[in-house]
Chain A
Amino acid sequence: MHSYYSFVTGPLAWIAFIVFICGSIWRFNSLWQLTKKKDSAVFEYMDRKFALRSIAHWLIPFGSRSMQLNPAMTVATFLFHICLFITPIFVFGHVMLWKENFNISWFALPNMAADVMTFIVIGSCIFFLWRRIKLPHVKYLTTPLDFIILMIVAAPFMTGFWAYHQFPGFVSMTIIHIVSGEIMLMAIPFTKLFHMFLFPFTRGYIGSEFGGVRMAKDW
């Protein structure tokens, strides 16, 4: 157990961070080159005003027509994304580890709040899973990889909840928890999870094209 713990908190953690950062830079660059080669008009259409206008509309809950038409999905995605980012950064156990390893610390969530937010993430993942299986227009676009990505995202939260509440086998579960987080980090550059970085560009471009060329709203 000790050697596993040392490995996943030592070398593997560094590998995960490096793959995440270098992978993201690589992905950015290759998409950039591809755009330049295949569709360089994208750069000409880009317009700061129209881009920001579109991004703002899509970042505000119910700020777009599509969101108004799908209220359940809108509530789920917003809560999901907020909890997905806030929980791992501010959950108490992680703050403690930042303090120990890098001697920096910040605000920590009350344990109860972290539990509720974990439930929100897991619950939303179940909702997204249900959509992919049950709704025809979503099912049509679904590939097996989408289910794997859902699992990659849900796993750190399920295992973390398990470890924190000390359910049976929580020692091994803590190690699985660490590994699952590292897998998620490493998956970001190479899967559609990369939309966390790409969002402003895709949205910004659509906003620019609709605003500047078609003279229409894209929300």
Chain B
Amino acid sequence: MNRFINSVMNMNISGITLTAIILTLTFAITTHADDCFTVNGETIDANSNTRPFVCFQHDAHNEKAGLESCDRCHHSYDDQGKLIEGESSEDKSCSECHAGNVGSQKSFDSNRLNIDLAAKYHKLCRDCHITEKKGPVVCGECHKR
């Protein structure tokens, strides 16, 4: 919301000073949020950046949600595509298995790779929140502006 108001105000009132102030503020806010674990920021940042990054506080989240077993998210599958219970894969990032060739990604319309990976995150995260009836489900609750 702030961003929207800001961009509207920018048009009217003395542009440069206001923009400078906003930029400083935005910078201060983003750098301050240092305990956010940006999920796969690197892989996706280079691409579309269609929504604000999700602030996923890994350890705090899992503690609060009572998730003790790591393989609930960091799962492993065998060659037949069957889930291996009790084996985890936290040494790998999701994109290593779910994004294919990262090099050619540009945007959603020219390449489906990003949307594939994003959909995997959504499936894992949102589906659990829905079944548990706890945690964010609406886009803006995770992709906070």
Encode A1-18 as 1/0 by CB contact (under 8 A) with B: 111011000000000000
- B145 close to A92 (CB less than 8 A): no
Say whether, besides A2-B129, A2-B130, A95-B115, A163 and B140 are in contact (CB < 8 Å): yes
By size class, the interface of chain A is 20 to 34
Which residue of B50, B112, B122, B137 contacts A2 across the interface (Cβ within 8 Å)? B137
Residue among A96, A163, A166, A168 with the most chain B CB within 10 A? Answer: A166
Residue among B50, B123, B134 with the most chain A CB within 10 A? Answer: B50
Q: Is A133 an interface residue (CB 8 A)?
A: no
- B133 close to A3 (CB less than 8 A): yes
- B108 close to A92 (CB less than 8 A): yes
Which residue of B4, B50, B141 contacts A165 across the interface (Cβ within 8 Å)? B4
- B50 close to A92 (CB less than 8 A): yes
Give the complex CA separation of A93 and B4 in angstroms. Answer: 18
- A100's nearest neighbour on chain B, judged by CB, is B119
Say whether, besides A2-B134, A6-B130, A165-B4, A111 and B141 are in contact (CB < 8 Å): no
Give the complex CA separation of A100 and B130 in angstroms. Answer: 14
By size class, the interface of chain B is 20 to 34
Expressed in whole angstroms, the minimum distance between the Cβ of B48 and any Cβ of chain A is 9
- A101's nearest neighbour on chain B, judged by CB, is B119
Expressed in whole angstroms, the minimum distance between the Cβ of B117 and any Cβ of chain A is 11
Interface class of chain A by DSSP: helix
Say whether, besides A5-B130, A96-B119, A100-B119, A171 and B141 are in contact (CB < 8 Å): yes
Say whether, besides A163-B140, A167-B1, A171-B141, A100 and B50 are in contact (CB < 8 Å): no
Give the complex CA separation of A62 and B144 in angstroms. Answer: 44
Expressed in whole angstroms, the minimum distance between the Cβ of A109 and any Cβ of chain B is 9
Give the complex CA separation of A171 and B50 in angstroms. Answer: 19
- A5 close to B138 (CB less than 8 A): yes
B 15-46 contacts with A by CB, 8 A: none
B residues whose Cβ falls under 8 Å from a Cβ of A? 1, 4, 50, 108-109, 112, 115-116, 118-119, 122-123, 129-130, 133-134, 137-141, 144-145
7 A-B pairs with least C-beta separation: A2-B133, A107-B109, A166-B140, A174-B138, A100-B119, A99-B119, A108-B108
Q: Can you show 29 pairs from A to B with CB atoms below 8 A apart?
A: A1-B137, A2-B129, A2-B133, A2-B134, A2-B137, A5-B137, A92-B108, A95-B115, A96-B118, A96-B122, A99-B116, A100-B119, A103-B119, A105-B115, A106-B109, A107-B109, A108-B50, A108-B109, A163-B139, A164-B139, A164-B140, A165-B1, A165-B4, A166-B140, A166-B145, A167-B1, A170-B140, A171-B140, A174-B138
